[in-house]
Amino acid sequence: MLKRFSLLYLSFLLFFAISYPLTDLLMNILFSDTLAEDITGDYQAYIYPLKAAYPYLTHHEWQSLLQQISNQSNLLINIANDDILLLNEQARQTIDLGKMVIQHPYDRDKMAVFARISDTVVIKLSALQVKEELYLSLIFIQFIAPLGLIALFTLGVMLWQQYRLNHLEKTSLKLAQGKLNARAATGWLAVGEINQGFNDMAEKLERMFNSQKHMITAVSHELKTPLFRLQMQLNLAKDEPHTQKIGDYLTQMHEDIDEMNTLIRELLSVSKMEQMDHFDDMLQTNLVQWLTVHTEQLAKHCQQPVKLNIANDIPDVIVMQAINSKQLKRALSNLVFNADRFAQTTIQLKVYTQDQRLCLSIEDDGIGIAGSERQRIFEPFSRIDSDRNRDSGGFGLGLAIVKEIIRCHGASISVIQSQLGGASFVISFPIQR
């Protein structure tokens, strides 16, 4: 943000530097007539006495008078009979009519006033001269110092504002990383009411998240106890004499209890991983070699053949990824077994690079997933209304767990249409150099 602010401030100074001459030009266009009238009134006080004195002076006396005025005053006066030839026709006609012609009224160094004293004499008067050091001091006091103070004050205010915004930005990043106890500074570092509003929001999020976490943990714990008792009672009931029909009921009840235990474990897994930013025990691993080993293992448990295709143009340094082998295998197993459930003839895994990322896709040639359902399938307990999902079992938590595992690896997952005709789950890892 500081870089952006510096660029903004430099842009402001550049704009000021460019706009200054344009402003000067605009002022010249808008107020040139008014300024010319004002200068004319000032210089008439010099020209009238000179006109009155000229007929009574010899040429030598006239030259001496002009020289004396130039030496002893802040006004330079010269005979300009030759200079008027450099003026345009309109200016010369104005001088011949007995009027003054003013050139460059906004420029102290170039300003010149032409006036006719007699039929044969035209004089040229400069701007009122000011000592250079005094002129620079006046410019500094009148313009540079005030503008400098304003610029410094503005810069100070903007830097202070930027400093407070940086504090708020750092706090927001901590909150985004899952540190729900992060709070924005108050008092002098507060940006209006934004910090207090941010803290209120953070407190509500922390309270809601903790409440949800405690509720899931408590419910899971409270469910485990009666489920364990039921399981023990069923085991005891199985040992008692019973008919075949009762035995079938008892077996089904055992399966239902196992499903409930599985649901509780998956709920706790999702809840735990949602609190994590990344896995702590991650090791640099050659992902291609890791996939080769685990794909062979998973293929033994699949009904359809599993193929692994690795692009030839992947440098060795790129395939090195920091992973938690156990968790990533859990995600890969879920995706491969899902593909096996819906594939018609084949399952294909591909490793390739795209847009500066290392990608792994798990594809099948099944019925695929509708575009409108592709985002929703990663939500907990989501169930899509399609033949792909019908009678597939599970609780709708598998892909939610997969998404959290992938997120904790700093990667992302999406689903697209496979070239095989079914679904393609694409895991995208950032390239680690």
CA–CA gap between residue 285 and residue 332 (Å, rounded):
16
- pLDDT given for residue 426 in this prediction: 93
What's the pLDDT tens digit per position in 341-364? Answer: 888 899 999 998 887 788 999 999
390 pLDDT tier (thresholds 50, 70, 90): very low
What's the pLDDT tens digit per position in 249-280? Answer: 777 777 777 777 776 776 677 666 666 667 77
CA–CA gap between residue 298 and residue 338 (Å, rounded):
12
- pLDDT given for residue 73 in this prediction: 80
Name which of 315, 268, 309, 275 is nearest 292 in CA terms.
309
CA–CA gap between residue 414 and residue 378 (Å, rounded):
9
Q: Which residue has the higher pLDDT, 260 or 20?
A: 260
Q: What is the CA 430 to chain-centroid distance, rounded? A: 20
What's the pLDDT tens digit per position in 229-240? Answer: 777 777 777 777
Alpha helices (H) in 54-111, listed in sequence order: 59-72, 89-96
Contact of 288 with 275, CB cutoff 8 Å: no
- pLDDT given for residue 335 in this prediction: 92
Contact of 116 with 122, CB cutoff 8 Å: yes
Residues 6+ apart with CB under 8 A from 393: none
Residues 6+ apart with CB under 8 A from 147: none
Q: Tell me how far CA of residue 309 lies from CA of 80, 102, 351, in angstroms.
A: 93, 86, 6
Q: CB 405: neighbour CB atoms within 10 A? A: 26
What phi and psi values does residue 83 have, to the nearest 5 degrees?
-65, -30
Please check the confidence at residue 422 and state whether its pLDDT lies above 80: yes
Full-model pTM: 0.52
- pLDDT given for residue 138 in this prediction: 64
- pLDDT given for residue 391 in this prediction: 47
